[in-house]
């Protein structure tokens, strides 16, 4: 008895290529940031924390899939891309000095990246027939937790820089938590709307089906 996969669309192929490229560029940028923090605009910005945390986050889903899900379903490329982009975009933003050059870039990153992580969680864990309330509940449960975890990590990574700026630290933390929460809500609403319209179905992990001979 053989196994087969539901065919992937051209969209899936594009997502797969983007995901692989983002991971490769992420590793190159992290290596460059470690070798020359000033060149990557990562001096005093937790380069070592990112060098450990971002690859761990970007490669967790592939590792879990290879260990536990490989025989049951195809690889969830879109969800993995949504996990990789926050790591990639943060390092790229620092490399291009966008955080210092564009005043709203940090706010956008907290909003967008939390939303992308929520999309990944929803695609991986939710039934496409779930109600809007159920989708929003999980979006907020994960998104707010992720935003809080990021702020805690950011605090310890940048502690030596922010000791002299307690007022700015408080304001920045509250603003980032609010933006992460808003990103979670928007992501949940968009995913639920897409499911209701019959979209995103073809990019779900394709379950392996048994082929029987006549």
Average pLDDT, integer, range 64-81: 90
Instruction: State the DSSP string of 168-182.
Output: HHHHHHHHHHHHHHH
Residue 200: predicted pLDDT: 76
Query: How much is the pLDDT for 3?
Result: 38
Q: How many helices (H) and strands (E) does the chain have?
A: 9, 2
User: Band of the pLDDT at 57, cuts 50, 70, 90?
Assistant: very high
Place of tokens 């706010």: 107
Q: Residue 176: pLDDT above 70?
A: yes
What was the pLDDT predicted at 165? 53
pLDDT score, position 95:
85
Q: Which residue has the higher pLDDT, 172 or 20?
A: 20
pLDDT band at 69 (very low <50, low <70, confident <90, very high): confident
Whether pLDDT at 192 is above 70: yes
pTM of the model: 0.84
Which residues does 5 contact at the CB level (< 8 Å), separation at least 6? Answer: 74, 206, 208, 209
Give mean pLDDT, residues 71-90. Answer: 92
Contact yes or no for 205/75 (Cβ under 8 A):
yes
pLDDT at 99: 87
Q: What is the pLDDT of residue 22?
A: 95
Mean pLDDT value of segment 91-118: 92
Task: Between 66 and 40, name the one with better pLDDT.
Answer: 66
Give residue 206's pLDDT.
47
């Amino acid at each position: 008895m053989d196994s087969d996969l539901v065919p992937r669309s051209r969209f899936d192929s594009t997502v797969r290529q983007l995901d692989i490229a983002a991971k490769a560029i992420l590793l190159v940028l992290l290596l460059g940031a470690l070798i020359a923090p000033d060149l990557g605009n990562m001096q005093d910005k937790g380069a070592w924390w990112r060098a450990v945390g971002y690859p761990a986050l970007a490669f967790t889903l592939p590792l879990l899939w290879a260990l536990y899900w490989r025989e049951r379903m195809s690889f969830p490329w879109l969800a993995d891309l949504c996990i990789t982009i926050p790591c990639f975009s943060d390092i790229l933003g620092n490399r291009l000095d966008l955080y210092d050059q564009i005043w709203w870039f940090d706010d956008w990153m907290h909003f967008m990246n939390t939303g992308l992580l929520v999309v990944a969680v929803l695609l991986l864990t939710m039934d496409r027939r779930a109600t809007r309330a159920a989708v929003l509940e999980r979006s907020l449960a994960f998104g707010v937790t992720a935003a809080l975890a990021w702020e805690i990590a950011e605090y310890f990574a940048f502690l030596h820089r922010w000791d002299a700026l307690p007022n700015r630290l408080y304001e920045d933390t509250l603003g980032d938590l609010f933006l992460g929460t808003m990103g979670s809500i928007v992501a949940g609403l968009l995913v639920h709307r897409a499911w209701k319209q019959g979209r995103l179905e073809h990019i779900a992990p394709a379950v392996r089906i048994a082929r029987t001979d006549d």
